[in-house]
Structure 1
Amino acid sequence: MDNLHLDQHISQQFNADLEDLKTQLLEMGGVVEQQIVDAVKAIENADGDLAERVIVVEDDVDEREVNLDENCTMVLARRQPAASDLRMVLAVAKITRDLERMGDEAQKIAKMAISLNEDGGAPRGYVELRHIGSIVQKMVNSTLDAFARFDVETALEVAKEDNKVDQEYKSAMREMATYMMEDPRSISRVMNIMWALRALERIGDHARNIAEHTIYLVRGLDVRHTSVKEIERQLHES
């Protein structure tokens, strides 16, 4: 695990400002993580009430995003941070956006759960949903942990898991498409599962983004649009 040494400042308030940004971000992450867990559970069980709660939580997530954006802007304006301090503020701002988009995807899953609750369950796709959902939930937990501990090795593992999710998603889509051709009557219900799987795949992408922001924060390496193999090489050479 890397140990990021944020610059020490004469102003204790500056230290407090940076720590507060980190705390607020992790709190937002906790809310979004639970939102994803509940959304997957809602669609697995066609639980309309739980799905409605997931949708309501999105307002809280949006408010947290706005507050964190404002706080980041204030720190930049007042403190004019440099080096690792600047990377910290920028990372928080970028991760905040990814968390908000994760919340949006969880909301989409919840809406599919409501549709399934009203129209009847889909005949296929729940095994794939449960499997990919489990991987993605672990990715979200791990990527937030990587940020909290400034741990680039865990961040790298999250990036590797994203490749796995992409493969599993493509396989599931092929199976769902084949089934719908065999039984056209199931199309609308199976499509709800497919949209939920798409949302989970996107959450995995955002988890990887957070992992990449963490690597930038700790090592100063911009690894966006970079293969996992190349990220690994850069980390071991830096």
Structure 2
Amino acid sequence: MSSDEFFTRGHKFSKLMKSANISEIVKVEACYDSIAYINSLPSGLENDLYFVAWAAELPQTKLSKTLTRTSLLVVLALVKRKASNFSVFAFSQQLSTWIIRQPKALAESAGEVLARLWRWDNGSLEVVIGREAPLASVKVLDSFFKNILNFLALTECECNSIAKLFLAASGNVPWSAVTAASRFEDDMSFKEQAAIIKAILSANNQQNADVSLVSRYQMSSRRKMTRTKK
């Protein structure tokens, strides 16, 4: 496997996906072949230029539900690689805007890709969430948050960034953000819950409410543990 081969495969894939004379079945198969190929590449191998050129046109391309889903999986494979060419496009916000606008039927794939993009560039995604959340599918947003919260243990910095996401998705209304966060308490440890809630309130100068709110969550968690033991 070489950089030149990566470049050539991307060129062929992009050309095939743009062709109006190629059936959807063939295009779907090409997506899965490309996913397998991209996932097999050694880390650090560059030259995803044509794959990026294809991805850059997705927001302006009319696709069926099936082809959109497989295209999202190709994008996910590219995001996981964090290649330099792809990063330039990802940071433009065009990609995440297109993804968050996907229907609820594609929520699982869309949420996973958004979560990966957030770990790559959480500042840009925060802007997109704030702008698109009122019109986005609730299932897409739920999938996004679940993928973030279930992705290994969260650092304090990540908890602060997630708090900003909940605020952005809630129109910067702190108590709405806290309510939104509470819906995912099963996806967080108590320590993560407390850190995220504290960050939400601190960001909006609501620190006085912090202690009582965290205590409420602690009591809720204890009640859950008691019910589970029984």
* TM tier relative to shorter chain: under 0.3
TM-score, normalising length from structure 1?
Answer: 0.25
Q: Which has the higher contact order (CA 8 A, sep 6+)?
A: 1
TM-score, normalising length from structure 2?
Answer: 0.26
Structure 1 or 2: larger helix share? 1
